[in-house]
Structure 1
Amino acid sequence: MIEPDLSRLARTIGDPTRMGMLALLMEGRALTAKELAYGCGVQPGTATEHLKRLQRDGLIESAAQGRHKYYRLASAEVAHAVEALMVVAKPMKVVSPCRRPAGALGAARFCYDHLAGELGTRMTAVLIERELLEADGEAMDVTTRGEAWLVDFGIDVTSLRRRRRRFAYSCLDWSERRDHLGGALGAALAERMLELGWICRQKHSRVVSISELGHRALAREFGLAIDSSESDQAVAISS
């Protein structure tokens, strides 16, 4: 009989440096060993050994480009597992040159490749309230009205359903303790908002910045009024 080796996985992610690397990669972009070492406060040589362990256990993957090797999470399932651990973990103060204040992370951020934080959870709630999205436990799906809205928004729902990745599911947000939209649909919404210039990624951070165009668009499309006068502090979002 074959069973998952949970004890080995627990030992791998139980190391603070390796867990820190996974958290940094939750931004969704590939990072070099040097960037991950800097973000976790360890020497590059030490980081390399940790990265080898993470890769052996299937948690990350690497790709060479030019003189550099870039690392990213191996799958959306790994990101989902890390986010789930963030939900149950007790909060602690972290001083790191690559980390932004908790207020900014809590306001709007990427959870791997979909939106999280207060922005992500509020958007998800609006989609459900307007009956564009329906939830059945962890599973989520779009309604007939929702599919029409998504097509108008520039998202090909039929193509998303054909992918091997889960179409849509509720992802419990560690900072909000409410659900945000994950899966291929959540990623497509975030990508479309990036394309439209509503939001942008902050370098070496999961924090999401909202443009002036984005403020107006979020108010128009989702009824969300966002006060971002203190960009690095908590962002108040009301609907």
Structure 2
Amino acid sequence: MTVEPRLDIIGAALADVSRTRILCEMMDGRAYTNKELASAAEISAQTASVHLKQLQAAGLTSSIRSGRCVYHRIASEDVASVLEALASLSPTDHLYRAKNRYLPEANTMRARSCYNHIAGRLGVLITNRLIALGVLRIQGEVVEIGAMGEAFFSKLEIDVPNLSISLKPPLKLCLDWTERRQHISGPLATALMEKTLKMNWLERRTGSRALLITELGYEVFEHDFGIARELIDGTDYP
């Protein structure tokens, strides 16, 4: 009897472009119907059902019934983190065209949801800036709340002590697959994204993981975070 992990099951579940498209659609943390996922993957609803059964059998997705509809989503935050890490190993040649900020593809690179936190250029810039301000500190591979952390998040009405009593660490590092740099994840990063959506600094896009940065959002990110609009929209940064 073998005791090695069954990576072959995970590999088989990922070894189909339609299934990976379905997973990418779910990576914004929301739940979708079979028809919605079929449309995103450009396949029939019947074919999507077959793929969803394989993804769920591999432990990558879960489903829940609400009324007459069944909704599918990424199984857990841990699964989402692994998928983001795998994405960072994938080839990036196809991203070259998206570096032109006037093309639609650039929206996903600029700002997007990574399950339940902010990713893309904006997510990396926020992380770097919070470290520079002393709000966060990095100790090797561990990210912690710095000396200025509670005061900074208090201004945003995010209660750090309450987050700290969670069984999960309030912050983790997540390698951004388009930027190839770290952004923050975990309960505190989730609370931050929820705040940006609630305050209309960011808006979700229909049928995309991309997050729209509103004019108010650009103002807040520059005034409160010290991140200039040119850095968010540009093609390179320090």
TM-score over 0.5 (shorter chain): yes
Letter in 2 for 1:52: K
* TM-fit CA distance, 1:161: 2.1
Give 1:160's aligned residue. Answer: 163
Matches within 5 A, 1:83-102: 83-91=84-92, 93=94, 101-102=104-105
What is the aligned-residue identity percentage?
37
Task: Confirm or deny: 8 A CA contact 2:64 2:71 kept in the other structure.
Answer: yes
Evaluate the alpha carbon distance shift between residue 137 and residue 102 of structure 1 in structure 2; reply closer, same or farther with a 3 A threshold.
farther
Mapped contact 1:103–1:235 kept (Cα < 8 A):
no
Structure 2 Cα separation of the partners of residues 153 and 74 of structure 1: 30
Match of 1:51, SS state, is helix
Partner residue of 1:148? 151
Residue in 2 aligned with 1:64?
A: 65
CA spacing shift, 1:144–1:205, aligned 2, 3 Å: same
1:235 is aligned, of 217, 233, 236, to: 233
Map residues 1-239 of structure 1 onto 2, 5 A cutoff.
2-91=3-92, 93=94, 101-227=104-230, 235-236=233-234
Segments of 5+ residues of structure 2 without an aligned counterpart are 96-102
Deviations 1:184-235 (A, max 9, x none): 111111111111111111112111111121111111111112259xxxxx92
Contact 2:107 2:212 in 1 (8 A): no
Q: Aligned with 1:171: secondary structure?
A: strand
Deviation for aligned residue 1:16: 1.7
Q: Secondary structure at 1:181's aligned position in 2? A: strand
Root-mean-square deviation over aligned CA pairs: 2.1
Which deviates more from structure 2 when the two are superposed, residues 157-166 or residues 184-193?
157-166
- Contact 2:134 2:147 (C-alpha < 8 Å) held by counterparts: no
Q: Secondary structure of the residue that 1:69 maps to in structure 2?
A: strand
Q: Distance in 1 between matches of 2:140 and 2:25?
A: 29
Contiguous gaps of at least 5 residues in structure 1: 95-99, 229-233
Between the aligned partners of 2:178 and 2:94, the Cα distance in structure 1 is 14
Matched letter for residue 236 of structure 1: G
Counterpart secondary structure, 2:184 = strand
CA distance in 2, matches of 1:118, 1:103: 10
1:3 to partner: Cα distance: 3.9
Supply the distance in 2 between the matched residues of 1:136 and 1:13 (Cα, whole angstroms).
33
Aligned counterparts of 1:91 and 1:64: Cα–Cα separation in 2 = 37
1:102 and 1:212 mapped to 2: Cα distance? 20
Instruction: Quote the Cα distance in structure 2 between the aligned partners of 1:30 and 1:112.
Output: 11
- What is the aligned residue count? 229
Change (3 A) 1:4 1:166: farther
Amino acid at match of 1:61: S
Q: What's the offset of the Cα at 1:25?
A: 0.5
The answer to which of 29-38 and 3-12 deviates more is 3-12
Give TM-score, length-normalised by structure 1: 0.89
Per mean C-alpha deviation after superposition, the further-off stretch among 116-125 and 139-148 is 139-148
**2:208 partner SS:** coil
Q: Secondary structure at the match of 2:127?
A: helix
Deviation at 1:141, TM superposition (A): 1.0
Shift of 1:163: 2.4
